[in-house]
């Protein structure tokens, strides 16, 4: 009886036991696929953000490159009516000849002095707005007394063909009886955009 029990015991103890099962791991292939998808999504977002940023940066210079509309200056009260003047100051001089004949230059200065109600509403297009000019009259006249007499000339008009030509066309049209709006329109049509300049000149009052 004791031998059988011993044999059974030995038989049980010598029987090989099954190896413990290994814990299930996460499959390698799906993990790699998920990582690849995450990298692709991150790359797409980065590229899209970069495109939006470059588009914004490209649009910014174009907005800045657009010239701002000039602020229209008000015509002083003293310049809103004709002002004949018998005694004008001597015209400015320079060492080299002006771009137009002396008589044409003088006529432009005299017209600017006596008809500020015209040239104050006629723009200039040579770029002199950068010097503070409000209209073609400022190209020839710098200072006036309280009664409207010219006290100081602007030498810029002496050496600028655009200023002289604008004043000459305005003078000729005025002499022929053209209205102020028609003079302004004709000058704008001929000179606007020619040199990229435009003084902040207000529109003339409507014809009566």
Does residue 87 carry a pLDDT above 60?
A: yes
- Mean pLDDT computed over 176-198: 93
Confidence at residue 14, expressed as pLDDT on a 0 to 100 scale: 47
Confidence at residue 9, expressed as pLDDT on a 0 to 100 scale: 44
- Mean pLDDT computed over 162-170: 98
Pull the structure tokens for residue 3: 């031998």
Pull the structure tokens for residue 11: 């038989």
Pull the structure tokens for residue 69: 């509309």
Under a CB-based contact definition with an 8 Å cutoff, are residues 124 and 163 in contact? yes
List b or e across 131-158, with b for residues whose CB sees 16 or more CB atoms inside 10 angstroms. eebbbbbbbbbeebeeebbbeebbebbb
Q: What share of the chain is helix, strand, coil (3-state, %, to 5)?
A: 55, 5, 45
Does residue 13 carry a pLDDT above 50?
A: no
In terms of phi and psi (left: phi > 0; alpha: psi -120 to 50; beta: otherwise), the region of 132 is left
pLDDT tens track for 34-74: 666 677 766 666 655 655 555 445 444 444 444 555 577 78
Backbone phi and psi for residue 151, each to the nearest 5 degrees, phi listed first? -110, -20
Record the pTM: 0.66
Cα separations in angstroms, 179 against 20, 116, 172: 110, 14, 12
Place of tokens 């006036």: 144
Cα gap 160→74, rounded to integer Å: 24
Cα separations in angstroms, 124 against 3, 63, 76: 131, 26, 17
- Give the pairing type, strands 150-153 and 141-144: antiparallel
Does residue 24 carry a pLDDT above 70?
A: no
Give the HSE-up count for residue 130: Cα atoms under 13 Å, Cβ half-sphere: 5
């Amino acid at each position: 009886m004791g031998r059988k029990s011993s044999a059974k015991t030995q038989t049980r103890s010598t029987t090989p036991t099954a190896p413990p099962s290994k814990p299930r791991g996460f499959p390698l292939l799906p993990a790699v696929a998920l990582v690849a998808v995450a990298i692709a999504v991150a790359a797409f977002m980065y590229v899209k953000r970069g495109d939006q940023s470059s588009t914004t940066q490209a649009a910014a210079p174009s907005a800045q490159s657009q010239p701002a509309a000039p602020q229209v200056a008000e015509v002083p009260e003293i310049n809103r009516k004709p002002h004949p003047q018998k005694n004008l100051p001597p015209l400015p001089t320079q060492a080299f000849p002006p771009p137009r004949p002396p008589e044409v230059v003088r006529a432009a200065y005299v017209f600017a002095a006596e008809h500020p109600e015209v040239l104050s509403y006629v723009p200039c297009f040579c770029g002199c707005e950068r010097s503070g000019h409000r209209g073609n009259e400022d190209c020839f006249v710098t200072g006036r007394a309280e009664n409207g007499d010219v006290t100081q000339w602007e030498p810029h008009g002496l050496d600028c063909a655009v200023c002289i030509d604008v004043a000459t066309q305005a003078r000729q049209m005025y002499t022929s009886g053209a209205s102020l709006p028609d003079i302004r329109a004709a000058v704008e049509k001929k000179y606007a955009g020619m040199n990229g300049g435009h003084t902040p000149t207000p529109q003339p009052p409507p014809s009566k």
